[in-house]
Structure 1
């Protein structure tokens, strides 16, 4: 869980800022145009032709026009800057970098050139070079520290990244953002004691942030510090009495300590909550499934919480997952109960329909199998298996005329399935026998047996 939180926060907080955000800014083109200097008409014509072609994404034609302008003024930094941008748009990063370097040599330490050069180095995975350029850029704007942090992360230079965060805390003051970033680094480097310290500081800095408490609970739990984890959860519940998030932690403590009623109460709150994501809810549900597997007598409670999940997340597929789980354990009654819960609102799921019907036959629930297969045929009228199941169920209910009709009709949909053909003939034999038509019963029985002999 901690690992998931790490990557979610890290990519959500750092990786949407800095380098990527700067891609969409417009001032670069304006600076370039304003900085042309004195140029003749031919140069101006080529230059603005290049801008026009770039605007409609004809980057190759833009490059040709710029190369013609370059021959007129080979020492104009703006030409190389524009060439760099076009090569960058073509993902030709080596040529982009080469041209941005030329622009920088002609007009040293211009922010708009350095920024483009840094971005190209970064995209080309030349992080060390990008860092060197970044260290010049931070003099222009503190926003570039975000880029520096990102590149330290890419290089896994966590010591330098922590040092940078410490420096920024001293210069700019402590922020929740940097504390949160710091704790993610400690989680990635398994520096648990530092992570706990940072989380505690984050709670002091921003006591209204529920996620800090929850992360601290998870860290304590991962380290086997159950007492500290539970105390933090209780404190969180006192501070946020209406919070549903705290129950993500509390339900597990209650389950582990056989406080089942309290665990169920917490789970219901989690499963009904709109603020908690489906993945976390599924983990709660799965934990209770494992608990039920080891503690008899909670089958109905499991169905209740599964129904809550299905309703809150509009996910009837959860019943199929639980049914499959019990089927693998050969607990057919349990499996069928979940399949039947799922098929009620998900009858167009053919796999679930088939599994439910086969289990109903296996457990001698012929009336239910007859009714459900009939409903299934309304949605899947060309599925031969459904006719066979309905026919078998009707035979067992001694409704031989109906069985004969449905089985005969179903044979028309049978295509290249020897096993099913044999079963159809066997059920037709049963239907004719039930109607007292011994010759026909014998005929179909011999057909079924002949298929069996052919296979053997």
Structure 2
């Protein structure tokens, strides 16, 4: 009887070993397939393989990270976000997971969340401090941006970039002061320069210089102050397209169409940028739709 029981237990252990090995082999096969498909930019097939991996190892955070990447490479940021967050919940200090989540938040224009992640990364690596500065600037928190820049200057970090960003903060503060002065002067019926035109000149100057990051910052500032000006939506869309932020570009440009009043030239300009944005998103049908609108206007 003892001999029979021992044989039964050994058989169970052997079967378990075989099953475990089979699962490991299947996991490796699906994982390598996902890497191969990602390498040739076939992201849907990569995701399919990764989901098979997830069935075999549901708590493997590397699979969550890879799923997030494959969704993000398709500009599907909403789908990518929870996978990055789950990976980070299991490995909170992982630089690659945090960096991917940072990109995901930035592409959704979730600046507050991006600042949280960038702050964590900046504690690990001083190279992220300039990224955090840019996020403060985009969030119009110029005091925090300048404070961090002063700290970086004292530590000798990224000296040339610090000087550049300090100039940017000063310029944006001057633009704000100009707008404030205009409001105050207008209430007293004092004639001064039109701040809307000043914004346009500043944005177009950055466009000529191909400084598209700067162009994006100033056009965003202009839109915050004058949200019914369709030209600012167009100019911000141009900057976003140049920076290959196509999802954000098409959202801004389509919003701008709602403020157009009988301006065919600007309308066609916006349509042109929408064609560019949708081509960047590999949405050929929408690109064709806006191209047809241009043709109809001509």
TM-score after normalising by structure 1? 0.33
TM-score after normalising by structure 2? 0.49
Q: Which has the higher contact order (CA 8 A, sep 6+)?
A: 2
Q: Based on CA coordinates, which of the two structures has the bigger radius of gyration?
A: 1
